[in-house]
Amino acid sequence: MAKLTEIKAKEKYLSINWQVNNFCNYSCTYCNPGNYIGDSPNLGNLETYIQNLDIIITKYEQQNYRHFKFFFSGGEPTAWKNFIPIAEWMRERIPESTIAVNTNLSRPLAWWEKYHYLFDDIVASFHVEHADKDKYLEKSLYLCDKVNYLASKMLMHDERFWEVVEYGELLKQILPNYFIEWTPLFDEISTNAGPWNYTDPEKSEFLKLHSSEHLQTVDKPWRPTPCISHAVWDDGTEDVCNSNDIIVKDANFFEGWECTIGDAVFINQIGNVSMGSCGQAGMVGNILSDVSLVGPKQLICAKSHCTCGTDIIIPKRDISVC
């Protein structure tokens, strides 16, 4: 089997992943309260966030980074009061940037009609305990041809599993464009230490056979993003780097590799800034105070296992072979 030797970006890009709050208007039983309780409202001064974001972007631009990808998550990011002003500022500061949001889609249709133009990618999680099924469908129908990528992420609630399947099937019948992800409950949000254990073999079988399904029958505003990493293999092949594939191929072990960790900036719900989410580069600042240490950076990876999808696609190379 071919061996991975490098993950590379054809054109340098910076990815900023920002967990803007830990407040959510839902309180899913499979979610860790730390993701929805709201004790970190992140209510800093808008001007300060913008000034410091501008300092970070300018520093990367000076080192020839031309492409930027912003990914907002929470809690529920659309509930954060600075969310829209900051997304508007980003759209204006770098019009061709890629802006993505992970949301529970609970904002009313009128909100999405007004603001959808700000987003390229919307990852819309469906949570059966709280979501209004008719309204989720109505908003999905509206958005499915308005943005590059609308992912309907079906969170597979254990007791209401087949109800979620039925609803996902309904979306598939009605939406002219869809990208459905059947998403097992996962340790990132669950109170469990590991992935959810579905004891019913029929549910496990369903998840084994269903990962994602997609269809496009009507046009949507396709803007190709240059923010893409490629996986290079020692048999000379090269493909778009998909972190799930890398994990499935057991190729996410980069100890001793040179990692361009500064290409991925993480901002947590209290504003602390780190590079990568693996902890290798430590904390380098806070978005409300000092970001002078945030910038392009490389290091030799000392961790045996690179686990997070956004960390895996950071450019890196095996210095023993290339």
d(Cα 308, Cα 17) in Å, to the nearest integer? 12
Site string for ligand SF4, 218-257 (x = CB under 6 A): ------------------------------------x---
- For residue 259, what are its two tokens? 């990692």
d(Cα 119, Cα 96) in Å, to the nearest integer? 11
CB-based contacts of 160, cutoff 8 Å, min separation 6 = 128, 129
Which one, of 21, 1, 8, 91, lies nearest residue 257 by Cα? 8
* SS3 sequence of 152-166: EEEECCCCCHHHHHH
Q: Counting contacts by CB under 6 A, is residue 267 touching ligand SF4? A: no
Q: Read off the amino acid at residue 295.
A: G
Residues from 95 through 124 that contact ligand SF4 (CB under 6 A)? 104
**What is the CA 148 to chain-centroid distance, rounded?**
15
d(Cα 38, Cα 198) in Å, to the nearest integer? 29
Q: Counting contacts by CB under 6 A, is residue 189 touching ligand SF4? A: yes
d(Cα 316, Cα 264) in Å, to the nearest integer? 12
Minimum CB distance to ligand SF4, residue 183 (Å): 11
Minimum CB distance to ligand SF4, residue 126 (Å): 9
Number of residues near ligand SF4 (by CB under 6 A): 25
Site string for ligand SF4, 280-299 (x = CB under 6 A): x-------------------
For ligand SF4, the binding residue among 306, 313, 315, 317 (CB under 6 A) is: 306
Q: Counting contacts by CB under 6 A, is residue 278 touching ligand SF4? A: yes
Which residue number, 24 or 232, has a Cβ lying nearer to ligand SF4?
24
Minimum CB distance to ligand SF4, residue 270 (Å): 17
Site string for ligand SF4, 26-45 (x = CB under 6 A): xxx--x---xx---------
Minimum CB distance to ligand SF4, residue 302 (Å): 7
Stretch binding ligand SF4 (CB under 6 A), from 53-61, 143-151, 164-172, 273-281 = 273-281
d(Cα 103, Cα 112) in Å, to the nearest integer? 11
Q: Counting contacts by CB under 6 A, is residue 4 touching ligand SF4? A: no
d(Cα 226, Cα 58) in Å, to the nearest integer? 19
Q: Are 260 and 42 in contact (CB under 8 A)?
A: no
Query: Residue 15: phi, psi to the nearest 5?
Result: -110, 125
Q: Counting contacts by CB under 6 A, is residue 151 touching ligand SF4? A: no
d(Cα 167, Cα 292) in Å, to the nearest integer? 48
Minimum CB distance to ligand SF4, residue 151 (Å): 14
Degrees, nearest 5: CA angle 165-157-103: 90
Minimum CB distance to ligand SF4, residue 64 (Å): 21
Sign of dihedral through CA atoms 109, 111, 114, 115? negative
Q: Counting contacts by CB under 6 A, is residue 76 touching ligand SF4? A: yes
Q: Counting contacts by CB under 6 A, is residue 311 touching ligand SF4? A: yes
Minimum CB distance to ligand SF4, residue 253 (Å): 9
Binding site for ligand SF4 (CB under 6 A): 24, 26-28, 31, 35-36, 75-76, 104, 125, 127, 189, 254, 259, 261, 276, 278, 280, 301, 303, 306, 311, 314, 316
